[in-house]
Structure 1
Amino acid sequence: MSRYDRGYRNSRNYRSSRSGRRGRYEESHGGGLAFIIFVFILAVGAYLISGDSGQAFVEEWMGKAQQAISNGIIAKQEETPTLPSNMTPCTKANIAKIVAYTLMEDTPLEDISEESLWYSKYYTRLKEDPKFNFFDEQEAMEVMTYEEATQFFVDILGEGYAVNVDATQDVSKKSMTLKQFLKGFEQALEHAGKKDLLHYEELSILATSLTDSRLGAWQVLTDKGIYGFEGLILDPCVGYTLQAIVKNDEILGIVDTISATSKIQKCYVVAVADGKATLRVDEYELTYKNQIITPNEIGKICTVTIQNGEVLSCEVLKEDLGDRILRMTDDYIEFEIAGRLPYQKLTLYDGTGTNTYTQLGQLFSGIKVSYTMQNDCVQTLKVLEDQTTDEVRVLLSQDGVSGYTQENVQVTCEGGFVALYGDKKQEIASGEVWDASQITWEIGKSKVTLMPKGESQLQVASMTRKEKQPTYKGALEVYKEEEGFTLVNKVDLESYIAGVIPSEMPTSYEKEALKAQAIAARSFTKSQQKSNKFLRYGAQLDDTVASQVYNHTPEDEASYAAAEATKGEVMLYNERIVNGNFFSTSAGYTANYGETWAIGEIFPSNTPSFLVARQQYIGERVVEDLSSEKNAYTFFTTAPSEIDAFDQDAAWFRWQVHMSAEELEQVVNANIYKLTTNYPNMVKVKEGDNWVIGEIDNIGAIKQIQVTKRGEGGNIMEMLVEGEKMTVKVGTEYLIRSLFAPVQKDATKDPIIVTRADGSEIKNMALLPSAFFSMDIHYEDTSTISEIDFYGGGYGHGVGMSQNGAQGMAKRGYTYKEILRHYYNGVTIEEL
């Protein structure tokens, strides 16, 4: 189906039963406009009916129309030439769209099938309000007359509204242009006190989906970005600057033609050669005839005026010399040098020569950019270099587990320190406490930087880690938020690694294991420094398991020695630093990356060859296929003494959990609402033969549990849980561990116990230890579970290096490089 739907020429009365009350009409004289509309309708009809030949005809017509407009020969009796804004007929589908976006703006548009016509969703929305029941989709492509428009305003806004036009003759039966309708609609809304429903933008039209195949259907590239334009004809307007009514990046209609030129306010000069200039606007490159822009402007951000496909003028915009982005919120950017600056309609360009950075979501804390300003706001960013420094920016959590908002921040230091706030500098003496709540925070200045003197470390007196007040090397940045504060530690890479090691691995472990941990942590850090996950906080990583645990246990001589012995060393695969995932303990196998985590809505996903499932014991395979339920049960009930595993001495190598039917029901129903709400694409509800998204808070007593998919390493990827009320399907290891989190919900009962391989017991765990487990399910009868036993192994997600496995390998005499090459298949270890 073409975007121009059939039926343009067939028009019925708006409503034959209506009286057609007349208002005041006026009309611009001139048969030129009527001729343009008439030819336009014929062109569209030919386009729809005749395929390629029709398309050639409409393109020829557009070219002639544009030439006629430029020469000013259309409608010679008018004092000014007819311009593109006068040329679009007003169909009833156009009006349905305008009403849906304005008078029903709070009602969401429903998704429709690809086979549906472009305007169907607007008619579907209008059906939800009885006062719009006269809209009939059968009449969608009819052209609105003045008489019908008058009746429309009466129907919508009441008596007294009319279309005002400049003529004495009766034009009630004549067709309107969209521009004329919009003027009447504007007047009607103004009288009704609703003019603010219309938002006006001045847009230079640079390309449409007809003139540039890179644009999607109904997309137009403007100097202010990409807009939709369903139901409009903008192809003849390329090269013009128009006044448009827009809503949510959708153009509702063109009000006027501002200029026969287009002005690109902030474009990037890509190339200049052979009398042509190539400009980048957003991610699109456009080439124009050129005698103005010189090769010296290549790589510059400019304002360029285009006329008839040729550069008319070029003004190079002033850029700063370069600054690093520390933080970026929805309202402002915090720069390292310039501080906090607001931004509007930000455009990003890549000045690295790689064309890598095209989306704002690719920016990260620490990236170096230049920028231009307009009206005291940042308008453009140009990436100058994306190499990360040896400083790491770590977001400190409130309790070491989750939550980044601190109620208050109090800091002290044995050697004294300095507080920098804007251009103010405050000296804090040894032992004195700096208190963030005592600062007079100024509007637009939300950061204080605390820097220790000498080799001292800053102590955060308002925070605890394992019942101690933690100390930090490097600087602390304190950000004032709407509620409370956030805290970022800026620290050199090797000090950071020394702070990760003891929080992730006991420093009593073998030296080779500690060195392996240092390199895995350093590789993970360098691979994550370019993530934008914590950009809004001004950080690259956090100090929890969401990144890697940092400074929960103070660094010591062993952790410093491991960091120093491997200084700068990282793992590479195909010359790129790998994401050195690690976890506590394996059950005898590691897991495939893609069978553990979802990427967006994709699960399972691709597995890099360096993060594949691998056997973690010596000798013949205990079972051949861990994806089999029978084999998985055999393996996870195998005692540590029966297998020569690298992790066999770890308490978490094997574990068991027992729940009664009542405990199982309470655990599942306590977690199901959060999972179906927060992870709707991974936790779905059965409806008939389909799996659908739905928020549920109780599935009733548990009748059946079934493992439907396991990974190569034996980890459960997907489970079905059938309750009395409904059945759910749960995917990914984390959500499965969350659903069956062994926490007693009845305060009158004993806690739920996880029993480990060494006989030790852990009470009320927030997650199952791992997704490497099998079950013994006992029934009261054939349809009701009476109790359940989980037999599992390992602790953590199972991807990459097992820390206890690394310890077991080190005890067997493996070097740190051998350990890493075992867990990360095919990597090389090199110094940065």
Structure 2
Amino acid sequence: MSRQPEIQVGILAEKVITFELDGHYSLKEEMSGSRFQAELSGGEIVLSSGSGQQMKGKEFIFQASSAADSFLLEGVTIGIDFHWEQKENQRFRGDLKLTVEGEKVRAINLVLLEEYLRSVISSEMSATSSPDLLKAHAVISRSWLLAQIKKSEQLKAGTTSYASVQQIEGELIRWYDREDHQHFDVCSDDHCQRYQGITKIINEKASRAIDETFGEFLMLGDETCDARFSKCCGGVSENFENVWEPVQHSYLTEVVDSEYGETTGMDLRREEEAEEWIRSSPYAFCNTTDAQVLAQVLPDFDQATTDFYRWKVSYTQQQLAALLLKKSGIDFGQIIRLEPVERGHSARLIKLRVVGVKKTMVIGKELEIRRTLSESHLYSSAFVVDHHDVQDGIPQRFELTGAGWGHGVGLCQIGAAVMGEKGYSYEQILKHYFRGAELKKIY
């Protein structure tokens, strides 16, 4: 690859989208003004300008004339399905593409990869982050993105088969990854990587990290690594195939988040050992309460969270039964038990059996379990359950004790932040979390 690619980032999809252009944008068809509205009607986009002009079509592309041009999208939802979900106006550089997506208009930002990364690293990381944490994150974000683009190309070409749901009698296994995005390469929210264009200040340290790692990727031979990251692994990272499709990546496997050895001495796939691990608080890079370190990784609205390494959640019988009905659409009746069926290498549940008076069902994988057991997202699926106050065989309260925050695959952001503070280089951080991968400059 001789130069960086242009990527397509899905920003929002709505019945009506309002936006403003700042600079010199061109459209194939002449249309004056800087403020526009795009509305879906009869399967087509009706584009209206502030001056009253209108035109219809299936797709429109507003092309920027210079790197300084930008556009403002109103009412972009951030933190989708999380407790802090909200709308805000966001500004982006590059081109704006409008296309039909189902019953909505989809707004897509066409932007060069490195420019995209400046926003991602500024959004995901704090300006207080250590230079090597920022560089490590730049490399994995760049690598993950290119891997997704190549995967999308294979899916479109029909050279790769993909299914994200496996359902048999009494069992529903689902994962969430590529299947959501068919009209663009990546989305702008936490489902992919948090991208807010130039809405937030592009901090100088993040920009320098992009420049100093420009074109550097994690590679396994000629393959770009599908590099992943989560907030906190909980002490051990998870294998890729236990969270997403059943494909093994040698660089996304169990890693003990410590400098003291390759193993915990425990097999966390075994229930007894998983329970001992989760109920304890073993040493790990990510086992920290250092506010200065946490501020490097957690945005303002997450910094109130301090119980991510080990945590507890409690439900009454009524709360849990209602929640399961709401999130799964299945009426289990009163809940008798939540039973672990299968765990991964980090003690994260791959399959969980929900036993109810009316229905019993096994659910998985990791994110499906987290979505089903929380109004937003449970911190992780690495948890054990205590059934309290059992009356006539029916528990009246359920307490979940858990470990970690996120899926746990690949780089652990909090662990990497601690490593950066301890003086590890970005090359050492990447080598720790992505075993066997090599750092290569490809453009």
Asked whether the two chains share a fold, i.e. TM above 0.5, the reply is: yes
Query: Residues 341 and 352 of structure 2 are in contact (CA less than 8 Å); yes or no, is this contact kept in structure 1?
Result: yes
Q: Which amino acid aligns with 2:275?
A: Y
The alpha-carbon distance between structure 1 residues 617 and 561, as it changes in their structure 2 partners (threshold 3 A), is same
Q: 1:740 maps to what in 2?
A: 373
Partner residue, 2:236:
589
> Is 2:220 the partner of 1:563?
no
* Contact 1:534 1:541 survives alignment (8 Å): no
Report how far residue 771 of structure 1 moved: 0.8
Q: 1:813 aligns with which of 420, 423, 428?
A: 423
Partner-residue secondary structure (3-state), 1:529 = helix
Q: Distance in 1 between matches of 2:351 and 2:104?
A: 40
SS of residue matched to 2:320: helix
The partner residue of 1:419 within 26, 41, 51 is 26
Offset of residue 607 of structure 1? 1.9
Structure 1 pair 537/653, CA: closer, same or farther in 2 (3 Å)? same
Q: CA offset at residue 596 of structure 1?
A: 1.6
Matched, 1:543 2:188: yes
Superposed, 1:638-649 pairs within 5 Å as 638-639=280-281, 643-649=283-289
Change (3 A) 1:464 1:593: closer
Distance 2:69 2:318 in 1: 55
What are the Cα deviations for residues 678-713 of structure 1, in whole angstroms up to 9, with x where unaligned? xxxxxxxxxxxxxxxxxxx30110112211111122
| Corresponding position: 1:407 with 2:16 | yes
2:224 counterpart (573, 577, 594)? 577
1:784 partner amino acid? I
Gap change, CA 1:569 and 1:827, over 3 Å in 2: same
Aligned to 2:193, what secondary structure does the other structure show? coil
Partner residue, 2:393 = 783
CA–CA distance in structure 1, aligned partners of residues 102 and 406 of structure 2:
35
Which residue in 2 is equivalent to 1:139? none
1:607 aligned onto 2:252: no
Higher strand share: 2
Indicate if the aligned counterparts of 1:418 and 1:425 stay in contact, CA closer than 8 A.
Answer: no
For 2:191, the aligned partner's letter is: A
**Structure 1 position 781, deviation (Å):** 3.8
- The equivalent of 2:71 in structure 1 is 458
Structure 1 ranges of 4+ moved more than 4 A: 386-389, 439-445, 464-468, 480-484, 532-538, 620-623
For residues 800 and 767 of structure 1, the distance between their equivalents in structure 2, rounded to whole angstroms, comes to: 19
What CA deviation, in whole Å up to 9, does each residue of 1:343-392 have, x standing for no partner?
xxxxxxxxxxxxxxxxxxxxxxxxxxxxxxxxxxxxxxxxxxx9995211
Change (3 A) 1:407 1:829: same
Deviation at 1:454, TM superposition (A): 5.4
**Which structure exhibits the higher relative contact order, with contacts defined as CA atoms closer than 8 Å and separated by 6 or more residues?**
2
Q: Which residue identity does 1:549 align to in structure 2?
A: R
Task: Give a deviation string over 1:35-88, Cα, whole Å, max 9, x none.
Answer: xxxxxxxxxxxxxxxxxxxxxxxxxxxxxxxxxxxxxxxxxxxxxxxxxxxxxx
Secondary structure of the equivalent of 1:562? Answer: helix
In the TM superposition, what is the alpha-carbon distance from 1:732 to its structure 2 partner? 0.8
Q: 1:536 to 1:560 in 2, by over 3 A?
A: closer
CA distance in 2, matches of 1:714, 1:442: 56
**Does the residue aligned with 1:788 lie in a helix, a strand or coil?**
strand
Residue 624 (str. 1) matches residue 234 (str. 2) = no
Separation in structure 2 between the aligned mates of residue 587 and residue 454 of structure 1, nearest angstrom: 42
Preserved contact between residue 321 and residue 335 of structure 2 (Cα < 8 Å): yes
Distance 1:451 1:775 in 2: 54
SS of match in other structure, 2:110: strand
**Equivalent position amino acid for 1:496 in 2:** Y
What is the deviation of 1:727? 0.7
* Comparing 559-568 and 615-624, the one that deviates more: 615-624
* Distance in 2 of aligned mates of 1:733 and 1:780: 28
* Alpha-carbon distance between aligned partners in 2 of 1:810 and 1:482, rounded to the nearest angstrom: 45
Q: Which of 320, 332, 339 is the aligned partner of 1:664?
A: 320
Sequence identity, in percent? 23
Q: What SS class does the counterpart of residue 548 from structure 1 fall into?
A: coil
Tell me the distance in 1 between the aligned counterparts of 2:75 and 2:372.
34
Equivalence for 2:433: 823
Deviations 1:745-770 (A, max 9, x none): xxxxxxxxxxxxxxxxxxxxx01111
Corresponding residue number in structure 2 for 1:438: 48
Which residue matches 1:68?
Answer: none
For 2:136, what is the secondary structure of its paired residue?
helix
Tell me the CA shift for residue 546 of structure 1.
Answer: 3.1
Deviation, 1:591, is 0.4
Amino acid at match of 2:352: M
Quick one: structure 1 residues 535 and 732, their matched pair in 2 at CA, closer, same or farther if it must change by over 3 Å? closer
- Secondary structure of the residue aligned to 1:469 is strand
By how many angstroms is 1:614 displaced? 1.0
Residue 452 of structure 1, CA deviation: 5.2
- 1:547–1:441: structure 2 CA closer, same or farther, 3 Å change rule? farther
Query: What is aligned with 1:396?
Result: 11
Residue 664 to residue 445, structure 1, CA distance change in 2 (3 Å): closer
Residue identity opposite 2:213 in structure 1: T
Query: Is 1:799 paired with 2:419?
Result: no
Which residue does the alignment assign to 1:235?
A: none
Q: Which amino acid aligns with 2:20?
A: V
3-state SS in 1 of match to 2:367: helix
3-state secondary structure, aligned to 1:499: helix
DSSP 3-state at the match of 2:256: coil
Query: Which position in structure 1 is the counterpart of 2:278?
Result: 636
**Partner Cα distance (1:534, 1:627) in 2:** 28
| TM-score when normalising by structure 1 | 0.43
What residue identity is the alignment partner of 1:626?
L
Could you tell me the TM-score, scaled by structure 2's length? 0.79
What is the RMSD of the two structures over their aligned residues, measured on CA atoms?
A: 2.6
- Taking a change above 3 Å as real, the CA distance of residues 534 and 707 of structure 1, as seen in their structure-2 partners, is closer
Change (3 A) 1:557 1:778: same
Alpha-carbon shift at residue 647 of structure 1 (Å): 4.1
Q: Does the CA-based 8 Å contact 1:390-1:492 persist in structure 2? A: yes
Question: Is this contact kept in 1: 2:285–2:414, CA < 8 A?
Answer: no
Distance 1:719 1:661, change over 3 A: same
Counterparts of 1:469 and 1:780, CA distance in 2: 50
The aligned counterpart of 1:494 is: 114
Q: Which amino acid is 1:829 matched to?
A: L
Q: Following the alignment from structure 1 to structure 2, what is the Cα–Cα distance between the partners of residues 732 and 558?
A: 37
Contact 1:617 1:644 in 2 (8 A): yes
Deviations 1:170-206 (A, max 9, x none): xxxxxxxxxxxxxxxxxxxxxxxxxxxxxxxxxxxxx
CA distance in 2, matches of 1:715, 1:638: 15
- Separation of aligned partners in 1, 2:180 and 2:383: 37
Higher alpha-carbon Rg: 1
User: Which residue of structure 2 aligns with residue 334 of structure 1?
Assistant: none
Matches within 5 A, 1:331-480: 390-397=5-12, 404-413=13-22, 416-420=23-27, 422=28, 424-426=29-31, 428=33, 432-436=34-38, 437-438=47-48, 446-451=59-64, 453=66, 455-463=68-76, 468-479=88-99
1:515 Cα deviation after fit: 0.7
Q: Secondary structure at the match of 1:438?
A: strand
**The residue matched to 1:476 in structure 2 has which SS?**
strand
How far off its partner does 1:435 sit? 3.4
Q: Is the CA contact 2:352–2:362 (under 8 Å) kept in the aligned structure 1?
A: yes
Aligned length: 380
Aligned to 2:175: none
Alignment pair present for 1:770 and 2:380: yes
CA apart distance, 1:653: 1.5
* Contact kept in structure 2, 1:459 and 1:472, CA below 8 Å: yes
- 1:526 is displaced (CA, Å) by 0.9
Structure 1 residues 435 and 452: alpha-carbon distance in aligned structure 2, compared to 1, 3 A threshold: farther
Deviation at 1:608, TM superposition (A): 1.1
C-alpha deviation, 1:503, in angstroms: 2.3
1:574 Cα deviation (Å)? Answer: 1.7
